[in-house]
Structure 1
Amino acid sequence: MTGSAARWRWDVVLPVVLTLAAQVELHLPHSTDAAPPTAAHALLLVAVTAPLVLQRRAPLLAPAAATAAWAAEPLLFPVANTFAVPLCALGLAPLAAARWSRTTARAAVAVAVVLVLVALQGLVHEAYGSGDGVANTVFAGAVAVLGLVWRRNATERRRAEALAAERAAAADEARERGLRAVEAERARIARELHDVVGHGLSVVVLQARGARAVLAADPARAREALDEVERAASGALREMRLLTGLLRTTDDAAGPPPGPPDLPALVGDVRRAGVPVTLDADPLDGLPPGFAVTCYRVVQEALTNAARHAPGARVAVVVRRGEREVVVDVRNGAPPEPAPRGGDLPSTGGRGLAGVRERAAVLGGHVLTGPREDGGFRVLVRLPVPPPAAEGVPGAVREPARAAAGEAPA
C-alpha cells in the first residue's frame, strides 16, 4: 500500500471506528450515572467524533468542531463514561490540528483553538474541576507537540525528496546537454571534413589538368601546378587528420579512452602536420576517467583551432595540476603570414570553443578565451577536481622547447 493510501486510511478509518465505539459505549449499562442516554446525546457524541473524518482537508475546522462539541456536552447532557470520545477530543483533535495544517502559523492557530476548547470543557464540567481541566489541557498540548514534530519531519522529508528529484532532473538534463553537444560537435566536424576534403580534391584535380595541358609546351608552369597540387593535398591531409582525430570516440576504439598520457603522441601528430607545438604537462594520475578524457579533448580541440585559424603559428600547451584544480592553458602566437588559402575554409561559427565550454561545464569548470596582445589567441580551462588519491606521483612530462628564446608565446 502506498504512503498516500495509508495516510487516507488513517485519516478516515480511525475516526469512523471511534464513532462506532462511542455509540456502543454510550448504550452500555452505567454509561451515564444521572440519566439514561437519549438520541440527542448520541447525536452530540457523533458531533465529537465524526468531524475528524475531514481532518486532513479541514485541519482547523474539523478539530475545532470536535472539541467544541465535547466542551458543550456538560452543558447539555450528563457526561458519558466513554473512552472513544475523550480520545478524539484530547488525542486525535490536537494531533490533527498540528499535523495537517499547511503552514506553521495555521498549525499554531489550530492548536491554540483546540487547547482553549479543551480548557473550557474542564471549566464547565462540575465533576472535573480546575485540576482535571489543567491535566486535560496539558495532555492535549503534549499530543499537539508530537503532531508539530511529525509535521516538521514530514515537511523536511518532502523537501529533501523534491531536492533530490531536482538534482536528478538536473543531472539528466546535463547528460542530455552533453550528448547533444557531442552529436552537434561531431556533425560540425563531419561537415568541415567534407568541405576540407572536397576543396582539396577540387584544387588537386584542377591543377593536375592544368599541368597535363602545359606539360609539353611549358614545363615550368607544369612544375608550378604540381607544386600547388602538393600544397593543396598536404593541407587537406593535415586538416583531415586533425578532424578525424576529434571524431574518434571511446566506443569507436578497442583500447582505453585517451587521457593525459596520450598528450605527447597528440602533440607529435600535430607537429608532424606542420604546427610547431611545445608541451609542458604535470602528471594527472589518480583523477577520475572523465577528468582525464576532458583534459585530453580540451587540448585536442584547442590545437585543432590553432591549426585552422593560425596556420604556422607556434603553440604552447601547459597542463598544471594544483591541490584543487587542473589548469589547461593553450596559447598560440600570431600566424607568420596570412593563411595560404584565405577564406577557402568554412567558418566554424565558434562551435569549437563552444565544445570546450560544454565539456568543461559538465565537470563544473570554467573557460576563458580571447585574443592576446601579440595577435595570438589563448584558451584557459580550469577544472575542479578532488584531492589526489595518493602521494608521490611520478615526475612531470616536460618537452624542451625546440626553438630559440621567444619562440613560445608568453
Structure 2
Amino acid sequence: MTTTGEDRAAARNGPWWWTRWRSAVLDGGLALVSAVECALEGIPFARDAGIPVAAGVVFGLLAGAVLVVRRRWPIAVVLVSIAITPAQMGFLMGVVGLYTLAASELPRRIIAALAGMSLVGMLIVTLVRVRQDMAHGDVTVGDWFLPFASITMALGMTAPPVLLGLYVGARRRLMESLRERADSLERELHLLAERAEERAEWARGEERTRIAREMHDVVAHRVSLMVVHAAALQAVARKDPEKAVRNAALVGDMGRQALTELREMLGVLRSADGAAGRRRVEVPVSLVAVGEAAAEAASRVAEASAEGPDGPCLAELEELVGQSAAAGMVVDLSVEGEVRSYAPEVEATAYRVVQEALTNVHKHAAGAKTYVRLAHRVSEIAMQVENEPPPEVGSASSARLPSGGNGLVGMKERVAALGGVFVSGPTDAGGFRVSAVIPAS
C-alpha cells in the first residue's frame, strides 16, 4: 500500500517548518557547527579589521547560526554566505547552503544566478588571498599558481554541492512523481473494483429477472393448463369417464413436463452457485484480482445458464398449440413464409411470447377462439396471438386462475432485449391482441 498525500501531510510532527524532528535536529546541529566555525574565523577577521575580538566572535556566531533556516529560506542562507566570504568565514554555510538551494524547488535561473555569484565571490577572495600570501613570501611558486589555485578553490567549493543538490532534487521529484502515480493508480483500482461490483450486481439482477421470467413461463402456462383440465375433469368425471381419464392423463403429462423444466432450471442454479462459491474462495487480495473476480463471479450464473439445456424452439409450437386445444381452446395456427431455423435465443423468445399469450387467453378469455399467426420474413420473424371476446362473461373466472400482471411485462422485456418491437392491447371487437417482431440475427 502506498502512502498518499493526505497521509504524508498528516505525518508532519516536527516543530515550525520542519516535517520531522529528525530534520530539525540535523539543521540545529549544522547551524551549531557553522556558528562555532564562523566564531573561530571571526577572531582573525577582527584583528585584521581592527575591531574588538568579541565583536568578531559575536558576528561569526550570528552569521553561522543563519544555517538553521536553510530549509525555509535557502536563498537567504546563500546570500549571507556570499556576504561573509570576503571575511573568509562561513565555508560550511556556503557548501550546505548551495546544496540546499540546488535541491529545492526554486527556478533553475535563480539557482544558477546564486551559484554563479558564490563562484565569483569565492574566486575573487581566493585570488586576493593567494596574492597576499605570495607578496608576503609565504608562497614561492610560479605565476601560474595564482589562477590555478583561485579557480580550483572556487570550483571545489561551489560545483560539488550544486551538482549533488541538483541530483538529490531531481531524485526527490522523481520519487514524488512515482508516488503520485502510485496514488492515482490505487484510486483507479478502487474505482475499477467499485465498478466491477456494480457490474456484478447488475448482472445478478439481470439473471434474477431472466430466471423469474423463465419460472413464470413454465409455471404459469403448465399450471394454467393443469387447472383448466382439472376443472374439466371435475365437470365430466361422472358423465363421461373416458374423457375424464384422458383429461387426467393430460394433467399428469403437463405436471411432469413442468417438473422437468423446473428441475433443469434448479440444476443450472445449483451449478452456478457452486461455481461462484468456489470462485469466491479463490479470490486473491490484489485489487486487480478483486475487480476481475467480482465481474467473473457475477457472470458465472449467466454463463452456467447459457451452458444449460437448450430452451424451447419454434418446432415445438404445434405441440404448444395442441396442448391448448386439448384444454378446450379453439386455436387456429397459421404459418407464413419459408420455415427456417434462427438463433436459439430468437426461437426461445418467439416461443415464450406465444406461450404467454395463450396462457393469458386461458386466464382472462376462457373459451374464446384464438388465432396464432407466425410469419417468417427476410430479416425478421413476426408473431401475433389474437383472441375473440369470450363467449360468456363469467368464463374468465370459471377456473379461478390467478394473475400477477407480469406476463405482458416479461414478453416486452424479452423482445426488447433482442432489439425487437412488442405491442399489445384490446381489439375493436372486444378481444385482445399480442404482436411482436424480432430481428432474425
TM-score, normalising length from structure 1?
Answer: 0.54
Distance 1:223 1:342 in 2: 28
- In the TM superposition, what is the alpha-carbon distance from 1:295 to its structure 2 partner? 8.5
**8 Å contact 1:211–1:226 — kept in the other structure?**
yes
Unaligned runs of 5+ in 2: 1-6, 47-52, 131-149, 280-292, 318-341, 360-406, 421-436
Structure 1 equivalent of residue 96 of structure 2: 88
For residue 23 of structure 1, the aligned residue among 31, 35, 47 is 35
Structure 2 equivalent of residue 347 of structure 1: 410
User: Residues 251-270 of structure 1 correspond to what in structure 2 (within 5 A)?
Assistant: 252=274
**8 Å contact 2:102–2:111 — kept in the other structure?**
yes
From the superposition, tell whether residues 219 and 235 of structure 1 become closer, same or farther in structure 2 (CA, over 3 Å): same
Distance 2:60 2:109 in 1: 29
Structure 1 equivalent of residue 84 of structure 2: 73
Distance 1:310 1:148 in 2: 75
Structure 1 equivalent of residue 336 of structure 2: none
User: Residues 311-390 of structure 1 correspond to what in structure 2 (within 5 A)?
Assistant: 312=316, 331=344, 334=347, 339-342=354-357, 344=359, 345=407, 347=410
Q: Which amino acid aligns with 1:118?
A: S
**8 Å contact 2:38–2:63 — kept in the other structure?**
no
Structure 2 equivalent of residue 112 of structure 1: 112
Structure 1 equivalent of residue 49 of structure 2: none
Aligned residues: 294
- In the TM superposition, what is the alpha-carbon distance from 1:169 to its structure 2 partner? 1.6
From the superposition, tell whether residues 90 and 108 of structure 1 become closer, same or farther in structure 2 (CA, over 3 Å): closer
Structure 1 equivalent of residue 68 of structure 2: 50
Distance 2:113 2:264 in 1: 77
Deviations 1:345-397 (A, max 9, x none): 5618769999xxxxxxxxxxxxxx768xx96665xxxxxxxxxxxxxxxxxxx
| 1:307 partnered with 2:322 | no
Structure 1 equivalent of residue 197 of structure 2: 176
- In the TM superposition, what is the alpha-carbon distance from 1:67 to its structure 2 partner? 0.9
Distance 1:209 1:349 in 2: 31
**8 Å contact 1:123–1:130 — kept in the other structure?**
yes
Deviations 1:8-31 (A, max 9, x none): 345433222211222233334x55
| 1:236 partnered with 2:258 | yes
- In the TM superposition, what is the alpha-carbon distance from 1:136 to its structure 2 partner? 3.3
**8 Å contact 2:35–2:60 — kept in the other structure?**
no
Higher helix share: 2
Deviations 1:56-105 (A, max 9, x none): xxxxxx22221112112236xx232x55413322323322x1xxx2xxxx
Deviations 1:276-326 (A, max 9, x none): xxxxxxxxxxxx9x989978953733767x72686848xxxxxxxxxxxxx
Distance 1:343 1:19 in 2: 95
Distance 1:69 1:122 in 2: 13
- In the TM superposition, what is the alpha-carbon distance from 1:252 to its structure 2 partner? 4.1
Unaligned runs of 5+ in 1: 55-61, 258-287, 314-328, 355-368, 379-410
Q: Which amino acid aligns with 2:30?
A: L
- In the TM superposition, what is the alpha-carbon distance from 1:142 to its structure 2 partner? 1.2
**8 Å contact 1:22–1:45 — kept in the other structure?**
yes
User: Residues 92-171 of structure 1 correspond to what in structure 2 (within 5 A)?
Assistant: 92-95=100-103, 97=104, 101=105, 107-122=107-122, 125=125, 126-127=128-129, 129=150, 131-166=152-187, 168-170=189-191
Distance 2:411 2:355 in 1: 18
- In the TM superposition, what is the alpha-carbon distance from 1:158 to its structure 2 partner? 0.7
Structure 2 equivalent of residue 284 of structure 1: none
Deviations 1:252-288 (A, max 9, x none): 489989xxxxxxxxxxxxxxxxxxxxxxxxxxxxxx9
Distance 2:227 2:114 in 1: 95
Query: Secondary structure of the residue that 1:217 maps to in structure 2?
Result: coil
Deviates most, 160-169 or 216-225: 216-225
Report the aligned-residue RMSD: 4.8
From the superposition, tell whether residues 229 and 307 of structure 1 become closer, same or farther in structure 2 (CA, over 3 Å): same
**8 Å contact 1:299–1:330 — kept in the other structure?**
no
| 1:8 partnered with 2:23 | no
Distance 2:107 2:415 in 1: 57
Distance 1:40 1:110 in 2: 27
Distance 2:224 2:25 in 1: 84
Distance 2:440 2:307 in 1: 10
From the superposition, tell whether residues 70 and 27 of structure 1 become closer, same or farther in structure 2 (CA, over 3 Å): closer
Deviations 1:146-189 (A, max 9, x none): 12431243134314422541454245325523542454245435
**8 Å contact 1:122–1:132 — kept in the other structure?**
yes
Query: Secondary structure of the residue that 2:44 maps to in structure 1?
Result: coil
Greater Cα radius of gyration, structure 1 or 2: 2
Distance 1:10 1:302 in 2: 64
Distance 1:192 1:332 in 2: 14
Q: Which amino acid aligns with 1:15?
A: D
- In the TM superposition, what is the alpha-carbon distance from 1:342 to its structure 2 partner? 2.0
- In the TM superposition, what is the alpha-carbon distance from 1:208 to its structure 2 partner? 0.8
For residue 217 of structure 1, the aligned residue among 225, 234, 239 is 239
Q: Which amino acid aligns with 1:172?
A: A
**8 Å contact 2:96–2:161 — kept in the other structure?**
no
Q: Which amino acid aligns with 2:98?
A: L
Distance 1:115 1:347 in 2: 79
Q: Which amino acid aligns with 1:347?
A: G
